[in-house]
Structure 1
């Protein structure tokens, strides 16, 4: 699972996920990408796998996928200079 973010002035302008998993993983990633778009960086930083699974109505069996999606998002956020120092770019 990979995630790319376009962040501009503290707002997620675009979020994309590359999913290596079943349909529920794709559903969760698509749901989160849509939810993230237009949200402030601070909101993106609060996402958890548990919250995603509940919000996207994923089955109990898909909770592992939700945790993988959370990990991918956190990696993208950690790689984003804007999340660290306010720069703007795509990650």
Structure 2
């Protein structure tokens, strides 16, 4: 298993419901970058397993899981998490 960056688009409606004070443009919904733990003592969760428990903004449905893009630390684009899940389960 390798550490990766995950780039994901926020769900505009969910973000506005949770944070109504924000002034966001609906056409340019914010994006989030999920960084890997850089310290081996820090925990993390794997996104490339068939069964996982999601935490934080992912669990609260603020992020569009179907739009999650995976990049290696050197910038190599791996693909979308949903496509990688299909390859894992096949």
Say whether the fold is shared (TM-score over 0.5). Answer: no
Q: Which has the higher helix share?
A: 1
Q: Which has the larger radius of gyration?
A: 2
Q: TM-score range by the shorter chain?
A: 0.3 to 0.5
